[in-house]
Amino acid sequence: MQKITLRTPDDWHLHFRDDDMLAETVPATARCFARAIVMPNLVPPVTTASLAMEYKARILAARPVNSTFEPLMTLYLTNQTSPDMVREAKQAGVVACKLYPAGATTNSAAAVTGIESLYPVFETMQEVGMLLLVHGEVTESHVDIFDREKIFIDTHLGPITEAFPDLKVVFEHITTAEAADFVNAASANVAATITPQHLLLNRNDLLVGGVRPHNYCLPVLKRNSHQQALREVVASASPKFFLGTDSAPHARHKKENACGCAGCYSAWSAIELYAEVFDQLGILDRLEGFASDFGANFYGLPKNEGTITLVEQPWQVPELVTLADGTEMVPFYAGKTLRWKLESVLS
């Protein structure tokens, strides 16, 4: 039986949700990740330092016994965010601010309209060393959904990185060759996260043979040439690209719906899904950098000291995850067989 031992990885982009959902999502992530960047798009959103610290306390209360998992908190930018709010958040231990264009994804209605109005906030973030995390899509209704990432680069992200060269920017969950090229060509202060779904799937997996709601996420899956471009940058072992699952839980009935929610709940198989990709590409020796090193280096945080071990033993991703209240969720890749399994959870 083959084994792979890695420095304990981190998830640099995920959604825990809140309240009763935390009892499911926090242990699912803590089983293999030491830290995670926690998205702030709750209802209401996490817009202040005090709200971030209150949310962090709820997450810590949901950790498994003896777990040392650390949530890394973020602030949700709105048109009301001020430079003083950024300074207060930095002092409280918030590590980044999240830019959602209004209407771009789940719970983003309160987000930013008129991105240029936030330039004074970006200036302060650059000054105090607060990272900017970007959902990079325009939201104008006339723009084709498959072109929204590319157009965001041209109209917003390029100008932001030019105006604030010392601001660290993470282009989150990139989906296109244009995004990969932009990050590669940008300065060392620009990086990107890549999800398992955008490495494993393309839009055929969403649309061919009927719409598959559990593969629906935002940004939406793109054509196979874009999927291949993402696999190539992962294989390149560039430190500009690192692990961010964008794990996003939704109840089954909200996904299997005439207006189904966007998001793939990948937490319970996250590291195994990435191992599947790296195995397919014949680069398992590069998984540790992507999962455990590059993100910590970019955020300026120490690398984790522990390790995890993956064992080559095929297993099937569960068809359902059931919450304590009986709510059903369908995990990403449900029913499919993966080749690698986290050793500590083997039965």
Output the domain CATH number for residue 257.
3.20.20.140
98 annotated ligand binder: yes
Task: Confirm whether pTM is higher than 0.85.
Answer: yes
163, part of any domain: yes
13 annotated ligand binder: yes
147 catalytic, yes or no? no
313, part of any domain: no
Q: How far, in Å, CA of 168 to CA of 184, rounded?
A: 14
3, part of any domain: no
Q: Note whether 56 and 89 are within 8 A (CB).
A: no
Q: Identify the domain containing residue 229 by its residue range.
A: 10-303
In the prediction, which pLDDT does 310 show? 97
Name the active-site residue from 20, 84, 205, 246: 246
Task: Select from 247, 242, 339, 346 the least CA-distant residue to 287.
Answer: 242
In the prediction, which pLDDT does 347 show? 40
262 annotated ligand binder: yes
In the prediction, which pLDDT does 141 show? 87
341 annotated ligand binder: no
pLDDT tens across 41-90, in order? 999 999 999 999 999 999 999 999 999 999 999 999 999 999 999 999 99
Q: How far, in Å, CA of 298 to CA of 268, rounded?
A: 25
135 annotated ligand binder: yes
150, part of any domain: yes
pLDDT tens across 98-108, in order? 999 876 566 56
Could you tell me the two tokens for 326? 């009986």
275, part of any domain: yes
323 annotated ligand binder: no
218 annotated ligand binder: yes
Nearby residues of 101 by Cβ (< 8 Å), 6 or more positions away: 108, 111, 112, 113, 115, 135, 137, 138, 139, 152, 156
Q: How many independent structural domains does the chain possess?
A: 1
142 annotated ligand binder: no
230, part of any domain: yes
In the prediction, which pLDDT does 244 show? 98
188, part of any domain: yes
226 annotated ligand binder: no
In the prediction, which pLDDT does 203 show? 97
The overall average pLDDT reported for the chain is 95
178, part of any domain: yes
Residue 208 DSSP one-character state: T
Residue with tokens 């293999």: 32
Each residue's pLDDT, cut to its tens digit, for the chain (347 residues) gives: 699 999 999 999 999 999 999 999 999 999 999 999 999 999 999 999 999 999 999 999 999 999 999 999 999 999 999 999 999 999 999 999 999 987 656 656 666 778 899 999 999 999 999 999 999 999 888 999 999 999 999 999 999 999 999 999 999 999 999 999 999 999 999 999 999 999 999 999 999 999 999 999 999 999 999 999 999 999 999 999 999 999 999 999 999 988 889 999 999 999 999 999 999 999 999 999 999 999 999 999 999 999 999 999 999 999 999 998 999 999 999 999 999 999 975 54
